[in-house]
Each structure stands twice: as C-alpha cells, then as structure tokens.
C-alpha cells in the first residue's frame, strides 16, 4: 500500500505566470506529450503563415506597385518560412520544434518591421506608422501565442522580443515625441497582454485535459491491477481450500469403504455431503467471478442428450428418490438421435442447478426434466427447450425476475430454511446467455415451478444408436498389478490416492517432489504417472517436461492431479506434455475412471480419448 501511495504523482497544477505541475515526473510527461502531439499543428500553422505572407505581398503589389520594399519582404520571409517548414520534417525537429519555430517567427517579425519602416521611408502608405503596422503586430502576437501552438513559456519569450522590437521601431522610426510614443506603447502593450492572456488560457485548458486523461489512465491501471489481484487471490484461495477438502473427502470415502456401524456410515455420509456442498459453493464463486471477468470459455465438443440426462440422473437421481419424490426424464424422440456441438458439460451444469433447486424446494410430488425440439429458426441451429418442473413451494410473481440476479433469493427466510447462496440461477443465466440462449421461470406459489431454458446447437445425426447410449456403463476393467507412480508432496492426499489405487489392484510407487519423480522414472518404466502441479523444488510442469525427454516415456500417460481449477492451469498442464487432468478434490470414481481410460486398453487401441 505504501508503495502505491509513493508512486502516485502529486497532480497539483501550480498557477503563476508559467503553468507547471508540481510533480516533476508529471511535468516531464506533459512536455513529452505536448511536443509529440502538437508537432503536426505547428507544421500546419507554418504552411498557413506562408500562404498569408504570399497573400499579403500580392495585395501590396496590386495596390503599391512602386514600393520596392515589398519585394524585400518576400525575399526575406518566404525563404525563412520555407526553411522552417523543411526543418520541421526532420527528426531533430520532432523534439525541438518549439524553440526553433518561435525563433523563426521572431526573425520574420523583425524583417517585417524593418520592411514596414522602409515603406514609411519610401513614402508608401500602409507602413509601420499606419494601422497596418499595429495590425501586423497584432497578427504576429496572436500567431506566436495561439496559432503556432508553442507552449506559453516559449511564446512569452518570443512575444516579448517582438513587442520590444516593435516599440523600438516606433521610437526610432516614427515618434520621438514622448506623449505620442506613450500613447502608441499603451495600445501595443494592450494587444500583447490580450494575446498572452489567450495563450495562457489555451495552455491551462490543454493541461487540464491532460491531467484528466492521465488520471483516468491511472484509475484504469489501478482497476486492472486490482482485478488481477482479485483473480490471483481467487486462484490461491481456491487452491488452498481445495487441497484440505480433498483430504477430508478422500479420507471420508476411505473410511466408508471399511467396516463401520450404520451410525458411522450415516455420519460419514454427512461429512461427504457437506464437503461436496462446500466444493459446490467454491465452484459457484469461481464460476461467477470468471464469467464476470470474461474469462470463462465454453468448449465446442460433441455431446448427446441421452448421455447428458444419464449423467444428470447419476448425479442427482438417487437424492431425488431418497427424498421420496418421483423423477421423470423425457427427451423428444426428434432429439435423441442427434449429436450436438457445444459445451455439454455447462448445459449439464445448468440443468443440475435447476434440478438441485427443484429438489431443495419440493417436499412431495415429483420433478420432471424434459427436452423438446422447437421450430428451427433462420440460424440453422437446432433449438432445444429444456424444462425442469417441480411440485414444490413455488415462487411469488414479484420474485420471478429477481431470483436470476446474483445473491438474490425469493424471500430472505429461504437461506435459513433451505440454505444456499443465491448464485445458482445467476450463473445459469450467464452460462445460457454465453451460449446465445435464454432462460426463465413460470410459477404459482404453492403449486410448483417450471424453469426453462432454450439454447440452439449445431447438430448432426449421431452415429451411436439410442439404445447403446442409454445402456448402463460397463463394469470397470483395470489391469491388475500394474506399477504406477504418484508424485505428491501432501501426505494426506498421497495416502488417499495410494489406498484407492491399491484397492483397485494397482501397485503404487511414490515420489514427494518433481526431482525425485524424474529420478525414479529414469530408473524404471511406470505404466502411468499421476502428477501434482505445485510442489517444492521441481514442480509438476517441469518434472513432466523432463520425464517426457526420457526415450521410454514418450507414450506413457502422465495425468495432472491438482487443486488449481482454472482453464489456464489446464492449458499449462497439457502444454507441458500431460495427457489428462484431475481436479482436486476428486471423487474416487473420477480417479478410477481416469485410470481406466488411460490403463484399461492396450496402447495400440488407445485412440478414443479426446482431451481438450
């Protein structure tokens, strides 16, 4: 924090004859910005000046063809102006144009006054002593303070020289009498003060504008830094909570497998249930923050609805039936034979949220989950309407819109009675709108609710038959006695993983960090390696890279096992040469499924697994 305060420049603008920012770094930035930005304006104003001088001479020639001094003006100011314009295109001028251009304007002014004095001497009208003289002086002061676009402090110096030269010319050329000179001087000084005032004001406006923009940029940088800090915090927090949660859930699972009394079974069920709930809350918070930071990416992979519904049933079906509710699932026959392209997992997450709510708010009756096909629209996508209906407590009409906002619940006693964070529907709505769909609810208090969402997917006829998709998964077939290496620095997690794998008939070797893992792999060929990501000494990514360089490890599956749940982490793992990814905490089934996927088939047939 101290660092931040120290680095924020003092943005006070000091008022005085010359404006200046109190902070010298800010002043320097301003001067760099100014020199850069107004360079082109200065060039344009020089070209304008050249045109004006040429026009002036043309008029003079037409009106006073005999006054030769006019010619001197042309021979002096035109080359001077051309030189300045030429110079302004050089690289040096980019940094120093202000002084040079102001200087060239002073030269032009001096030559002009000299010419005007000579016109007076040659008896021509419109010399220094006429209104033409004062008007020319006025032009020049305006030019230096406003049009040329140099900073006030430089314009002031140049303007002062022009003023002094003009007064000197008047004193020596026209009026040696003091009263007349004082009168002239007063007029001329007034013009100078007015022009300088406008010049000062111009710079004040530019500085104010610059300050506003700098402060905006600073605020934006600070906001970006804060958002980055928030993401980092979330990632760390997620990791720190997931790791012990993996310990709690894993140990509970192991205990449950051993012989225990029904009461202990029940208590373990509660531990596992609460752990999963906590995990759900962490996932929700992560999801919401990722969606809000535009960091959530939807995958585009094939999925089918029978598969999706079967997963849903596996996740929540028994909980519904345990509560004594009926569960009906129904897929439109026009949809069962289609393979969709989209993020099936996220669609499943939405349906799981809706079904979870239906379960939570329904005491008797049943829940039905349906998918039916809507009329195709002009996008060429197959539009699916999902519906989750229940016979629960219902929702009052005024709450129907509100419940889709984050942290909103139909009525605030809900939290006390049913629990929940109010994030499920907010996440569902955002996910559905990321998929280009819509979501809503119809409800009558007391007689149940229907939540629906409509999403369009690209679809092709599915190759697998419907009966095959609805068939129960095959029993696990893990090769027995195969040697695997678990790389994990956390003793609790190691113990869980080892027990699960040994129970499934595998032989487990262990390395407590990446360096030892590389050494062990060099001495022996394991059939598979499970690799933690964050470890002291050599981490999982580096260890994987080194193991992949061993010739006999080119085709050996290496699976990440990590509490880092962000998609960047996934990409980094796969980029380092890992084949798959298990997020901690994992259910025993998820670990064994992965083992089966990577060990179950002989290597030459190992082609069916798509890892994205």
Residues that bind ligand ADP (CB under 6 A): 353, 357-358, 361, 390, 392-395, 403, 409-410, 414, 420-426, 449
Q: Can you give the three-state secondary structure of 263-318, one letter per residue? A: HHHHHHHHHHHHHHHHHHHHHHHHHHHHHHCCCCCCCCEEECHHHHHHHHHHHHHH
The rounded distance, in Å, linking the Cα atoms of 448 and 366 is 10
Contact 432, 455 (CB under 8 A): yes
**Which is closer to ligand ADP, CB of 305 or CB of 403?**
403
Question: Element (H or E) spanning 341, and its range?
Answer: strand 338-342
Contacts of 169 (CB under 8 A, 6+ apart): 113, 114, 116, 117, 128
Minimum CB distance to ligand ADP, residue 252 (Å) = 24
Contact 32, 78 (CB under 8 A): no
**Which is closer to ligand ADP, CB of 72 or CB of 421?**
421
**Which is closer to ligand ADP, CB of 104 or CB of 391?**
391
Q: Can you give the three-state secondary structure of 24-82, one letter per residue? A: HHHHHHHHHHHHHHCHHHHHHHHHHHHHHHHHHHHHHHHHCCCCCHHHHHHHHHHHHHH
**Which is closer to ligand ADP, CB of 76 or CB of 410?**
410
Contact 228, 568 (CB under 8 A): no
DSSP for 103-147 reads HHHHHHHHHHHHHHHHHHHTT-SSSTTSHHHHHHHHHHHHIIIII
Q: Which two tokens stand for residue 531?
A: 């690799």
Q: Across-strand partners of 21?
A: 13
SS3 563: coil
Minimum CB distance to ligand ADP, residue 323 (Å) = 14
Minimum CB distance to ligand ADP, residue 362 (Å) = 7
Place of tokens 């002073």: 106
**Which is closer to ligand ADP, CB of 45 or CB of 449?**
449
**Which is closer to ligand ADP, CB of 49 or CB of 422?**
422
Place of tokens 């920012």: 21
Minimum CB distance to ligand ADP, residue 410 (Å) = 3
**Which is closer to ligand ADP, CB of 242 or CB of 429?**
429
The rounded distance, in Å, linking the Cα atoms of 332 and 579 is 36
**Which is closer to ligand ADP, CB of 354 or CB of 494?**
354
Minimum CB distance to ligand ADP, residue 447 (Å) = 11
**Which is closer to ligand ADP, CB of 59 or CB of 328?**
328
In angstroms, what CA-CA distances link 395 with 132, 399, 448, 449? 86, 7, 8, 7
Phi, psi of 225 (to 5 degrees): -65, -40
Minimum CB distance to ligand ADP, residue 352 (Å) = 11
Minimum CB distance to ligand ADP, residue 304 (Å) = 26
**Which is closer to ligand ADP, CB of 355 or CB of 462?**
355
Minimum CB distance to ligand ADP, residue 243 (Å) = 25
Place of tokens 């100011």: 77
In angstroms, what CA-CA distances link 134 with 38, 62, 72? 29, 21, 20
The rounded distance, in Å, linking the Cα atoms of 159 and 164 is 9
Minimum CB distance to ligand ADP, residue 409 (Å) = 3
């Amino acid at each position: 924090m101290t660092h931040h305060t120290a680095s924020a420049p003092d943005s006070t603008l000091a008022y005085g004859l010359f404006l200046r920012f109190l902070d010298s770094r800010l002043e320097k930035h301003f001067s760099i910005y100014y020199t850069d930005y107004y360079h082109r304006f200065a060039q344009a104003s020089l070209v304008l000046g050249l045109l004006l001088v040429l026009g002036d001479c043309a008029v003079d020639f037409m009106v006073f063809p005999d006054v030769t001094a006019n010619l001197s003006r042309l021979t002096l100011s035109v080359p001077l102006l051309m030189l300045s314009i030429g110079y302004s295109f050089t690289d040096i001028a980019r940094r120093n144009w202000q002084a040079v251009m102001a200087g060239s304007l002073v030269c032009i002014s001096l030559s002009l006054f000299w010419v005007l004095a000579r016109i007076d001497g040659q008896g021509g009208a419109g010399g220094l002593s006429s209104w033409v003289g004062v008007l020319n002086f006025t032009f020049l002061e305006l030019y230096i303070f406003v049009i040329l676009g140099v900073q006030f402090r430089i314009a002031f110096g140049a303007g002062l020289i022009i003023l002094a030269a003009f007064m000197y010319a008047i004193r020596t050329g026209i009026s040696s009498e003091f009263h007349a000179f004082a009168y002239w001087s007063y007029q001329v000084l007034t013009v100078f003060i007015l022009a300088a005032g406008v010049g000062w004001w111009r710079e004040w406006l530019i500085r104010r504008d610059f300050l506003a923009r700098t402060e905006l940029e600073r605020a934006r940088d600070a906001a970006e830094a804060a958002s980055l800090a928030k993401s980092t915090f979330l990632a760390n927090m997620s990791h720190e909570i997931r790791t012990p949660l993996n310990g709690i859930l894993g140990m509970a699972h192991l205990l449950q497998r051993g012989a225990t009394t029904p009461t202990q079974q029940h208590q373990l069920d509660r531990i596992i249930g609460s752990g999963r709930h906590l995990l759900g809350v962490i996932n929700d918070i992560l999801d919401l923050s990722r969606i809000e930071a535009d960091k959530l990416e939807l995958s585009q992979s094939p999925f089918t609805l029978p598969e999706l519904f079967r997963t849903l049933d596996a996740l929540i079906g028994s909980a519904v039936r345990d509560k004594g509710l009926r569960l009906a699932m129904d897929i439109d026959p026009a949809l069962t034979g289609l393979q969709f392209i989209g993020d099936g997992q996220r669609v499943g997450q939405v349906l799981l949220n809706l079904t979870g709510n239906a379960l939570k708010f329904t005491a008797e009756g049943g829940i039905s989950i349906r998918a039916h096909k809507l009329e195709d629209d002009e996008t060429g996508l197959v539009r699916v309407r999902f519906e989750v209906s229940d016979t629960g407590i219902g929702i009052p009409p005024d709450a129907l819109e509100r419940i889709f906002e984050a942290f909103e619940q139909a009525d605030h006693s809900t939290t006390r009675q049913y629990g929940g964070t109010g994030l499920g529907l907010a996440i569902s709505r955002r996910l559905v709108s990321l998929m280009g769909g819509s979501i809503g609810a119809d409800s009558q208090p007391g007689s149940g609710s229907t939540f629906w969402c409509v999403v369009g997917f690209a679809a092709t006829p599915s190759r697998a038959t419907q009966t095959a998709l609805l068939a129960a998964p095959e029993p696990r077939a893990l090769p027995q006695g195969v040697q695997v290496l678990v790389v994990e620095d956390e003793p609790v997690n190691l113990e869980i993983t080892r027990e699960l794998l040994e129970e499934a008939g595998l032989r487990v070797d262990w390395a407590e960090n990446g360096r030892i893992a590389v050494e062990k792999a060099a001495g022996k060929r394991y059939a598979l390696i499970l690799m933690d990501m964050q470890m002291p000494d050599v981490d999982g990514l580096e260890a994987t890279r080194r193991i992949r360089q061993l010739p006999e490890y080119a085709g050996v599956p290496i699976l990440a096992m990590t509490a880092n749940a962000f998609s960047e982490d996934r990409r980094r793992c796969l980029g380092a040469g890992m084949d798959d990814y298990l997020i901690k905490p994992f259910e025993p089934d998820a670990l064994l499924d992965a083992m089966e996927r990577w060990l179950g088939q002989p290597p030459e047939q190992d082609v069916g697994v798509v890892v994205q």
